Amino acid sequence: MKVDYYEVLKISKSATPAEIKKAYRKKAIKYHPDKNPGDKSAEEKFKQAAEAYEILSDENKKARYDQFGHAAFEGGAGGFQGGHMNMEDIFSQFGDIFGSAFGGGGGFSGFGGGSSRGRARVKGSNLRIRVKLTLEEIANGVEKKVKVRRKVKAEGVSFKTCTTCHGNGQVMRVTNTILGRMQTASTCPTCQGAGEVLDKKPKNADNNGLVQNEETVSIKIPAGVTEGVQLKVNGKGNAAPGNNSIDGDLIVVVEELEHATLKREGTNLHHDLYINFSEAVMGVSKNIDTVSGKVKIKIEPGTQSGKILRLRGKGLPSIESYGSGDLLVHINVWTPQNLSKEQKQFFEKMMDDENFTPNPSKNDKSFFEKVKDMFS
């Protein structure tokens, strides 16, 4: 007893061609033998769906089926032997129905895989270079021009369609499996899947028709990159042979140069500032480096060693989010190590002076509290 074709595809008699196609697609994917290895009932459903589609997608056959049912195709009069569709016939439909998803080109190349026309576009190899960046460049982003030695197609080189695979990049084999005759694709041994082979090349070119070339490549580096970050410049790696090949990429690895006075910690910067004893006592103004030039900072009279001044937004921008880190200025009071006789006498006099007696207030935070503040 043959199942009704509309029933097989789960569609109504008034389904449009697009709906029929869509319904078949769904069934074919669900019951495909590659997805259901060894499952006889899935194979049967897969064949049924293909058969139903074969009839319902053809206006004439559909009209006859609508009028006479399965009887319309019995006895071979209809030109189509219902139920005798083999796997090869089914797979050969796929090119029309699934287009690029099935790698068309006369071959079935598996689910999800394959590019248009069943041919893998050959891609050249990637090149890697390192660029050294200053903190200032990292802070603002920079455009770097670098010289890159890359392989390009030689002037006057030409490629022709591979005769082994006729440009498909794959050769088909029909094998008998428990699921019936299956077409399997393998990479063409002549062109390694490119679909093209070298035709003519100038003397200076290598066996792939490529030559070494030095090129200046401009690389836009966004602000906030970190050591080890890899940026990709599409198509600036080595070329590959063939008219349809695509060039490899240039991988740019960021290297961070050490700054004379600034240390990086994520988006924050740290600066160790040394002031002398008198400056700490009397107060002072200092020019310090930032990634956007010098800034003047004011140190209040009576500043304790270990104080941290936070310059908001003077750190580095974040590559992932808005805003910038801070610049943290760590104040270190330099205690004099050599004193003149006069200076010695002065400090001796101050030894027991009330003003020289440590008297930390609640506002003078301990080292640990400061660290805690820094990260909050």
Which residues of this protein are in contact with Zn ion, per CB under 5 A?
162, 164-165, 188, 190-191
Q: How far is the CB of 105 from Zn ion (least distance, A)?
A: 12
Beta strands in the chain (DSSP E): 127-133, 142-153, 158-161, 170-177, 180-187, 196-200, 210-221, 230-233, 250-256, 262-265, 268-276, 284-290, 293-299, 308-311, 327-334
Give, in order, the Cα–Cα distances in Å from 318 to each of 106, 154, 324, 375: 51, 43, 6, 16
Half-sphere exposure in the Cβ direction for 31 (13 Å, CA): 22
Minimum distance, C-beta of residue 234 to Zn ion, in the bound complex (Å): 27
C-alpha dihedral, 294 to 299 to 305 to 308, nearest 10°: -60
Q: What are phi and psi of 299, to 5 degrees?
A: -105, 120
Tell me the Cα Rg of the chain. Answer: 38
Closest CA to 206 of 149, 152, 169: 152
Structure tokens at 264: 């990086």
Considering the complex, state which of residue 97 and residue 171 has its C-beta at the smaller distance from Zn ion: 171
Q: How far is the CB of 159 from Zn ion (least distance, A)?
A: 11
Least distance in angstroms from the C-beta of 169 to Zn ion: 6
User: How near is the Cβ of 200 to Zn ion at its closest, in Å?
Assistant: 18
Q: How far is the CB of 188 from Zn ion (least distance, A)?
A: 3
Q: Which of 82, 84, 87, 98 is nearest to 42 (CA)?
A: 87
**Residue among 164 and 213 whose Cβ is closer to Zn ion:** 164
Contact between residue 92 and residue 50 where contact means Cβ atoms under 8 Å apart:
no
Report CA-CA distances (Å) from 41 to 32, 37, 44, 143: 11, 11, 5, 62
Neighbours of 345 (CB within 10 A): 11
What 8-state DSSP symbol labels residue 218? Answer: E
Shortest distance (Å) from residue 142 CB to Zn ion: 45
User: Which residue's CB is nearer to Zn ion, number 209 or number 237?
Assistant: 209
Contact assessment for residue 231 and residue 133, using Cβ atoms and an 8 Å cutoff: no
Q: With respect to Zn ion, which residue has the nearer C-beta, 90 or 188?
A: 188
Nearest to Zn ion of 188, 252 (CB atom): 188
Angle at 216 between CA 213 and CA 220, to 5 degrees: 140
Measure the CA–CA gap between 252 and 258, rounded to whole angstroms. 19
d(C-alpha 135, C-alpha 335), whole Å: 31
Residue 59 CB, nearest approach to Zn ion (Å):
38
Q: Which is nearer to Zn ion, 49 or 194 (CB)?
A: 194
Q: With respect to Zn ion, which residue has the nearer C-beta, 148 or 197? A: 197
Between residues 113 and 189, which has the closer beta carbon with respect to Zn ion? 189
Shortest distance (Å) from residue 242 CB to Zn ion: 11
Cβ at position 240, least distance to Zn ion in Å? 15
Judged by beta carbon, residue 182 or residue 188, the one nearer Zn ion is 188
d(CA 320, CA 178): 54
Report the distance separating Cα 235 and Cα 229, nearest Å: 19
Rounded to 5 degrees, what are φ and ψ at 91? Answer: -65, -30
186 near 227, Cβ under 8 Å? no
Nearer to Zn ion, 188 or 297 (CB): 188
